[in-house]
Amino acid sequence: MREFVQALTIRTRIPGMGLLLFAQYVETRYATLLLAGDPTGIGYLLKNSVVDMPAFVAALEEIASGKTVLGPEVATQLVRGAYAHKGLDRLSSREVQVLEQMAQGMSNAGIAQKLHLSIGGVEKNISSISL
């Protein structure tokens, strides 16, 4: 919890500052708060999901370039939270498609390519999902 408070404080004081939360477990309540603002340049990965250095470095590079990076477990928990609290029926069909790809561990660039979207379009859908 302390890490999320620090992350929210940093983003409030320095909008657009890239952040990577590297945690033991998913805290959906705090993740939703963090992503509900401007989700660009934010990453949330679980420690056990990063199995090699190239994947970790790739995530850092995406965050540094302003992309949103969520690990598959994080995306899954956010979906469950959305379903439990508001229902997935509130999501557009495109948002559901993006969320499915996130849950499979695809990067924003991979999602954009697969769904024929711009990276900005993917990020916009991620932001809408998180609200």
Q: What three-state secondary structure class fits 70?
A: strand
pLDDT digits (tens, 9 = 90+) for 49-107: 777 888 889 989 999 999 888 888 888 888 776 555 555 667 788 888 888 888 777 88
Which residues pair with residue 46 across a beta bridge? Answer: 23
SS3 content of the chain, % helix, strand, coil (to 5): 65, 10, 25
Of residues 20 and 28, the one with the higher pLDDT is 20
- Provide mean pLDDT across the span 23-34: 82
User: Alpha-carbon distance 15 to 62, whole Å?
Assistant: 17
CA distance 10 to 13: 5
At residue 122, does pLDDT exceed 60?
Answer: yes
| pLDDT of res. 95 | 86
Q: What is the mean pLDDT of the chain?
A: 82
**pLDDT of 4 over the 80 cut:** no
Q: What is the pLDDT of residue 118?
A: 92
Q: C-alpha angle with apex 93: 98 to 55, nearest 5 degrees?
A: 5
Percentage, residues of the chain above pLDDT 70: 91
- Reading the block at residue 22, the tokens are 């590297």
